[in-house]
């Protein structure tokens, strides 16, 4: 198991945001967390990447306990995140944003670095066209592509994607999910938080449903997509 979350509890002050959740992410898979707003999905990702303090429980990455490691050390181990809301640096160019994603790498002047940059441009040709453009002047869809591309420049074994389809037009949503599947097929493990449950479950090997900070149902993407209670709550009655 590449990522193991065991008995995780996280508080915001006196409020329990996550209560005793446990799940794993197998290497080479796409695992999705779905649930309503406030269910604890984003908090889970932030805690895995080191941006939230753990009250109880452990997080292991590739067998190593990373529960109390600072975020940059987790990135160096091969774990990176594309945050909710994209978080691009608006005054910096596309190329500069991508370079920021690789800040922990020591091989920036090597062919390996160029190959990873080319991989991002192959996945997102629009970014190649805009490489000298300020990120803040691009559309929401382009900024989402940039946020994912920036996370990939850290050369992660596991990439955390938080609401990658939020606020995008339907055509772009389809494109983003196709690219997520391509990223996974190229060898990067994906942990996905997503409101568009139908699209996410269609592409996921494993999925978990969070409600008020607890995992209430788990299964394969196909199992949850065909579950009547899941359909009623998250899929509008159908996939």
Q: Is the pLDDT of residue 24 over 90?
A: yes
How long is the chain?
Answer: 239
User: What is each CA distance from 214 to 63, 69, 188, 194, 206, in whole angstroms?
Assistant: 24, 24, 27, 16, 17
Is 195 within the bounds of a domain? yes
pLDDT in tens, 156-213: 999 999 999 988 888 899 999 999 999 999 999 999 999 899 999 999 999 999 999 9
- 162: domain CATH number is 3.40.50.300
Are residue 70 and residue 115 in the same domain, yes or no? no
Structural domain count, the chain: 2
> Both tokens of residue 124?
């997102």
Which has the higher per-residue pLDDT, 126 or 239?
126
pLDDT in tens, 133-151: 999 999 999 999 999 999 9
Are residue 163 and residue 236 in the same domain, yes or no? yes
Rg (CA), the chain: 17
Give residue 180's pLDDT.
96
- Those residues whose C-beta lies under 8 Å from the C-beta of residue 110, and which sit 6 or more positions away, are none
Are residue 147 and residue 162 in the same domain, yes or no? no
Are residue 71 and residue 186 in the same domain, yes or no? yes
Give residue 157's pLDDT.
98
* φ and ψ at residue 134, rounded to 5 degrees: -65, 135
CA atoms within 13 A on the CB side of 136: 4
DSSP for 22-72, written as a single string: EEEE-TT-EEEEE--TTSSHHHHHHHHTTSS--SEEEEEETTEE-TT--HH
- Residue numbers of the domain that contains 99: 89-155
Tell whether pTM > 0.85. Answer: yes
Q: Quick count: other Cβ atoms within 10 Å of Cβ 81?
A: 26
Give residue 107's pLDDT.
87
Are residue 54 and residue 168 in the same domain, yes or no? yes
Q: Is the pLDDT of residue 76 over 70?
A: yes
């Amino acid at each position: 198991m590449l990522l193991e979350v065991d008995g995780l509890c996280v508080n915001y002050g006196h409020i329990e945001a996550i209560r005793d959740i446990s799940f794993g992410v197998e290497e080479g898979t796409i695992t999705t967390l779905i649930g309503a707003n406030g269910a604890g999905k984003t908090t889970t990702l932030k805690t895995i990447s080191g941006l939230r303090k753990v009250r109880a429980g452990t997080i292991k990455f590739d067998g190593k306990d990373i529960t109390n490691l600072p975020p940059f050390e987790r990135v160096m181990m091969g774990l990176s995140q594309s945050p909710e809301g994209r978080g691009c640096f608006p005054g910096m160019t596309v190329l500069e944003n991508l370079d920021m994603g690789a800040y922990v790498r020591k091989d920036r002047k090597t062919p390996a670095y160029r190959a990873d940059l080319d991989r991002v441009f192959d996945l997102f040709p629009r970014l190649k066209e805009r490489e000298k453009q300020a990120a803040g002047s691009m559309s929401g869809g382009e900024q989402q592509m940039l946020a994912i591309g920036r996370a990939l420049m850290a050369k992660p074994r596991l990439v955390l994607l938080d609401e990658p389809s939020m606020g995008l037009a339907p055509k772009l949503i389809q494109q983003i999910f196709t690219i997520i599947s391509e990223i996974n097929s190229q060898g990067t493990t994906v942990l996905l938080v997503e409101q568009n449950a139908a699209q996410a479950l269609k592409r996921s090997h494993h999925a978990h449903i969070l409600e008020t900070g607890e995992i209430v149902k788990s299964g394969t993407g196909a199992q949850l997509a065909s579950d009547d209670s899941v359909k009623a709550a998250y899929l509008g009655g159908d996939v």
